[in-house]
Amino acid sequence: MKELKKFKDLIFYSFKQNLLDSVKKELTSLNIEDSTQVIGLPNESEADMQHFLQMLPTQTNINETVNLINSQVDECKDFEDLKLYFNKRINDINKLNSPDNFAQFLTNISKEGSNLIINIQLSNVFNTYLPLLSQCEDILNKIGEDELLKDVSYEDVYYLLNSILEKSLEELTSQVYDNNSLDETFNSYCELLKNTKSWDEKLEIASKFSSHLSKEQIESLQSISQIPSPDESFIKNIVKIEIIVKKIKYLLSLSSKICNKLSENIK
């Protein structure tokens, strides 16, 4: 890692590290050897469950993909390079992962298996990071990208990052409260996220909320062939909420990285 002297160096380095951490974590969550959250789901025969688990990627698949992404992201020298990279990755999978093509999406999962699941997960990560990238560029413009780290105000950076977080929390609250089909658990998580001050504690709550949402999705997808089948709009709403929650998770971890590193350089 090169020495961080300017504010733009800190932002870009922190962003790339956070992105790679997220990619590794999200792909690891797909590991067939770490699928305990779906083993105990109700109304699943052993054969059906085995078929589902066989579609998940192995640790070898995950390691190969993580190494490839690390190499590709490392080649990106600025935010413009990352934008081009994100858009290429997103466009490669967009047709398969489009809400307007839901039936085909389910068919492709059953046919393509682990490779498609990995690519969809990556596309979701990149789609979530794309607006964060623009928000980081906005912060750079407000602080001054060529500003030396020693001259940057910690309070100003914290304020800007926290303002972005507050807007994301408002978006989450609106999405949850406007949906009458969701149970009280969703409202509880929203209230906790809004009322908790510490970024670290917010991140812990958001991670638990994300796990809850993943389980809801798995249960809905696994019962798609049952009668009556889950409401497609319910699944889509869960996906929308999960995207916002993941954006909040990524933003919280990124903000902590930036502020912690900034604090070290100011001392």
User: Over the stretch 7-41, which tens digit does the pLDDT of each residue have?
Assistant: 999 999 999 999 999 999 999 988 755 554 444 44
Segment 175-184, tens digit of pLDDT: 988 877 777 8
Q: Which residues of 89-117 are buried (b: 16+ CB within 10 A; e: fewer)?
A: bbeebeebbeeeeeeebeebbeeeebebb
- Identify the DSSP state of 149: G
Return the half-sphere exposure (C-beta side, CA atoms, 13 A cut-off) of residue 152.
33
Q: Residue 37: its pLDDT value, please?
A: 47
Q: What backbone torsions phi and psi does residue 148 show, to the nearest 5 degrees?
A: -70, 145
Round the average pLDDT of the chain to a whole number and report it. Answer: 83
Yes or no: say if 11 and 140 are a contact pair by the CB < 8 Å rule.
Answer: yes
Mean pLDDT of 230-259: 88
Distances (CA, A) of 205 to 150, 210, 248: 33, 9, 11
Helices marked H in the chain: 7-28, 36-39, 46-54, 59-74, 79-93, 102-112, 114-143, 154-177, 184-195, 199-222, 232-266
| Interatomic CA distance for residues 143 and 150, integer angstroms | 13
Q: Between vectors from CA 13 to CA 8 and to CA 14, what angle results, nearest 5°?
A: 100
Mean pLDDT of 209-230: 68
Tell me the pLDDT band of 91, cut-offs 50, 70 and 90. confident
| Interatomic CA distance for residues 202 and 172, integer angstroms | 14
Beta-bridge partners for 6: 148
Q: Which residues of 177-210 are buried (b: 16+ CB within 10 A; e: fewer)?
A: eeeeebeeebeebbebbeeeeebeebbebbbebb
Q: Residue 39: its pLDDT value, please?
A: 43
Segment 186-201, tens digit of pLDDT: 999 999 999 999 999 9
Q: Residue 245: its pLDDT value, please?
A: 95
Q: Is the dihedral of CA 67, 59, 123, 187 positive or negative?
A: negative
Mean pLDDT of 152-160: 96
Residue type, 134: S
